[in-house]
């Protein structure tokens, strides 16, 4: 079955702009989580959506937001981009039995802010 799909794979934006990243989870998975990976901070949790509702949120400023649609696809938005937002943004989806099968990650979107 198809994995987690993230688009676009690469993105270059200018400081002050905003960006929207997209994630299509594995069919049947209702939970979608977003993570930011940077060399200095490792993998940091952004937020999790389950059945269109934000169920959990990490310690990121309000410039980072997300949403989930009825088909479980999710988007995250970053407004007023800063240089420090340059990172690999990863989306993960999960279904039942996540404690045994883990979360499935997409390949990520590499965002570069210049």
Q: Is residue 95 at the binding interface for other proteins, with CB under 8 A as the rule?
A: no
Cβ contacts of 28 within 8 Å, gap of 6 or more: 95
Query: 56 to 75, contacts with other proteins by CB under 8 A?
Result: 56, 58
Give 15 or 57: the residue with its C-beta nearer to other proteins: 57
DSSP state of 100: H
Q: Is residue 7 at the binding interface for other proteins, with CB under 8 A as the rule?
A: no
According to CB under 8 A, which one of 16, 18, 27, 43 is a site residue for other proteins?
43
Distance of CA 107 to the CA centre of its chain: 11
Which sign, positive or negative, has the C-alpha torsion 24, 26, 30, 32?
Answer: negative
Q: Is residue 104 at the binding interface for other proteins, with CB under 8 A as the rule?
A: yes
Instruction: Report the distance separating Cα 50 and Cα 80, nearest Å.
Output: 26
Q: Is residue 98 at the binding interface for other proteins, with CB under 8 A as the rule?
A: yes
Residue count, binding to other proteins (CB under 8 A): 28
Give 35 or 64: the residue with its C-beta nearer to other proteins: 35
Q: Is 36 exposed, middle or buried, given 0-12, 13-18 or 19+ CB atoms closer than 10 A?
A: buried
Interface contacts to other proteins, rule CB under 8 A: 4, 31, 33, 35, 42-45, 48, 55-56, 58, 88, 90, 92, 94, 98-108, 110
């Amino acid at each position: 079955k198809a994995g987690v799909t993230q688009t676009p794979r690469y993105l270059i934006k200018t400081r002050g702009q905003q960006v929207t990243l997209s994630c299509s989870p594995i069919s049947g998975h209702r939970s979608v989580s977003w993570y930011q990976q940077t060399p200095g901070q490792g993998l940091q949790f952004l937020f999790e959506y389950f059945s269109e509702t934000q169920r959990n949120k990490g310690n990121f400023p309000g410039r980072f937001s997300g949403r989930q649609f009825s088909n479980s696809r999710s988007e995250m938005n970053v407004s007023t981009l800063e240089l420090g937002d340059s990172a690999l943004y990863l989306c993960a989806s999960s279904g039942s039995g996540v404690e045994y099968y883990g979360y499935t990650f997409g390949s990520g979107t590499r965002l570069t802010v210049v």
